[in-house]
Amino acid sequence: MPRIKRLSDGKGHSGSIIESIAWNECGSFKEVTGSTPEVGCSIRVSSATAGMFTSQDYWLTTPVTEILEERKDKNGKYEYMRFKTENSIYEITT
């Protein structure tokens, strides 16, 4: 199951859904652009059960400013990404 972790304190979330979210200039939701971190988009990690068994439904980052590292498996699927947002550094493992 995919997991996002903020490197400064180890906090994060795990879930089966990863979404790259684009925003309008006014800050309102624009669209989901994919399932991997993209510069300019926020990352949301959630589960299909919406936190049914936890007190947290999802994790949403500020927009990504830089992709620092990415690794893919032999089939070309992402298995690790490390990236900067406007105020933190994160990693996602699958």
Number of structural domains the chain divides into: 1
Instruction: Say which amino acid occupies 33.
Output: T
- The answer to whether the pTM exceeds 0.75 is yes
Model pLDDT, residue 77: 87
53 Cβ contact list (under 8 Å, min separation 6): none
Residues (pLDDT < 70) of the chain are 49-55
If we measure between CA atoms, which residue out of 15, 33, 37, 19 comes closest to residue 83?
37
Domain that holds residue 56: 3-93
User: In the block, which residue shows the tokens 């400064």?
Assistant: 8
pLDDT digits (tens, 9 = 90+) for 41-61: 999 999 876 555 556 788 999
